[in-house]
Amino acid sequence: MQYHVNGELVDRANATVPVDDRGFQYGDGAFETMRAYGGTLFALDEHLDRLDRSCDALGLAHGLSRRDLATRVHETLAANDLTDAYAKLSITRGSQPGTVTPRTDVEPTVVVYVKPLPRGGLDGERAWDAPAVLQTAKTRKPPANALPPGAKTHNYLNSILARDELVGDADEALLRDQSGAVAEGATSNVFWVDDDGLHTPAADRDLLPGITRAYVLDLARNQAGVPVNTGEYDLAAVREADECFLTNSTWELRPVRAVDGIDLEVGPVTQLLTRLFDRLVEHRHYGGVNSEPEGDADGSEARSTGTDGFDAEDT
């Protein structure tokens, strides 16, 4: 394997960053996890937009163009002869030893890391082995005035602590915010279905609104004809649901078979939205479908009736 480190393709054994890099010392960096299908990156513009927002939230003025960053990702995929893959683009504030206080002059560290994933689309295979088992964690999401929830940073200790609580066959943690309302999975956004339609916590809650989340909301609204509800929800809403699934860039849509020991079926809404997402990927990246589902997946909340190996970091 070869990775991209500060503008150069480097063999895996030599792909290193300095020990005084602030990404290592303090988690002072931002990243995006993307998925390549058929040699092109899904939702590249949306991922780069969010990377811009994350860096702005950190005050990390890296000075690199979007074209430069995208080129580095594509070069890394090509160097490893990967067309269907996981790609992680990281930017840290670089080496600034001696103090927690960041300097205004930044020489960023930029790393692209890739791994193969199965083909996506209608003929693809899932990146997950089985439906998820979801368990509510005692660990809570930090409030927005402590850590910006919409910034995708190198600091994943909150999710690590939540995952460390898991027992039995549970493999994803469900986190709540400081008020006790449902927020998200440790590395995923959470959706569920009941008689009122599809539900997910609103984007303005203390959570990271994922790129895949936005596409699922758009597909539900414009293609599936499923009522979409966002807002503030307590745990009972998820535990009493008819269906539940998780989303992130690697998993796409991953059904949930149990929530806190309560068994669930992989229901018709989950199956329909999965087929629509597969169709979208097939059209965009493999040319196997003549028409693409309508909608722009701009992250809007649709119609709200509320009050409004490859899994870490993939939301």
Half-sphere exposure of 90 (CA within 13 A, CB side): 25
Please report the pLDDT score of residue 302 as a whole number: 35
Report residue 288's pLDDT band, with 50, 70 and 90 as the boundaries.
Answer: confident
* pLDDT tens sequence across 31-49: 999 999 999 999 999 999 9
202-206 average pLDDT score: 96
pLDDT value at 214 more than 70: yes
Report residue 88's pLDDT band, with 50, 70 and 90 as the boundaries.
Answer: very high
| CA-based nearest residue to 2, from 101, 78, 99 | 78
Report residue 304's pLDDT band, with 50, 70 and 90 as the boundaries.
Answer: very low
Please report the pLDDT score of residue 284 as a whole number: 96
Please report the pLDDT score of residue 301 as a whole number: 40
Domain ranges of the chain: 2-116, 132-286
Please report the pLDDT score of residue 181 as a whole number: 98
Please report the pLDDT score of residue 97 as a whole number: 76
Report residue 98's pLDDT band, with 50, 70 and 90 as the boundaries.
Answer: confident
Please report the pLDDT score of residue 312 as a whole number: 41
For residue 126, give Cα distances in angstroms to 84, 112, 123, 185, 252.
12, 23, 10, 19, 8
pLDDT value at 67 more than 50: yes
Report residue 103's pLDDT band, with 50, 70 and 90 as the boundaries.
Answer: confident
| CA-based nearest residue to 217, from 204, 201, 206 | 201
* pLDDT tens sequence across 226-278: 999 999 999 999 999 999 999 999 999 999 999 999 999 999 999 999 999 99
pLDDT value at 110 more than 90: yes
The residues, ordered by sequence, that sit 6+ positions from 8 with a Cβ below 8 Å of its Cβ are: none
Please report the pLDDT score of residue 290 as a whole number: 62
Q: Given 3.30.470.10, 3.30.9.10, 2.60.120.10, 3.40.630.30, which CATH number is that of 2-116?
A: 3.30.470.10
205-227 average pLDDT score: 97
183-203 average pLDDT score: 98
Q: What is the three-state SS of the chain? A: CEEEECCEEEEHHHCCCCCCEHHHHHCCEEEEEEEEECCEECCHHHHHHHHHHHHHHHCCCCCCCHHHHHHHHHHHHHHCCCCCEEEEEEEECCECCCCCCCCCCCCCEEEEEEEECCCCCCCCCCCCCCCEEEEEEEEECCCCCCCCCCCCECCCHHHHHHHHCCCCCCCEEEEECCCCCEEEECCCEEEEEECCEEEEECCCCCCCCCHHHHHHHHHHHHHHCCCEEEECCCHHHHHCCCEEEEEECCCEEEEEEEECCEECCCCHHHHHHHHHHHHHHHHHHHCCCCCCCCCCCCCCCCCCCCCCCCCCCCC
Please report the pLDDT score of residue 298 as a whole number: 42
Question: Tokens in use for 27?
Answer: 């988690």
Between 203 and 313, where is the model more confident? 203
Please report the pLDDT score of residue 303 as a whole number: 30
75-79 average pLDDT score: 98
The residues, ordered by sequence, that sit 6+ positions from 1 with a Cβ below 8 Å of its Cβ are: 11, 12, 80, 114, 115
Class at the top of the CATH hierarchy for domain 132-286: alpha beta
Between 170 and 288, where is the model more confident? 170
For residue 9, give Cα distances in angstroms to 1, 78, 110, 288.
10, 11, 11, 33
Please report the pLDDT score of residue 292 as a whole number: 52
Instruction: Give the mean pLDDT of the chain.
Output: 92
The region of weakest confidence among 132-136, 155-159, 294-298 is 294-298
pLDDT value at 310 more than 70: no
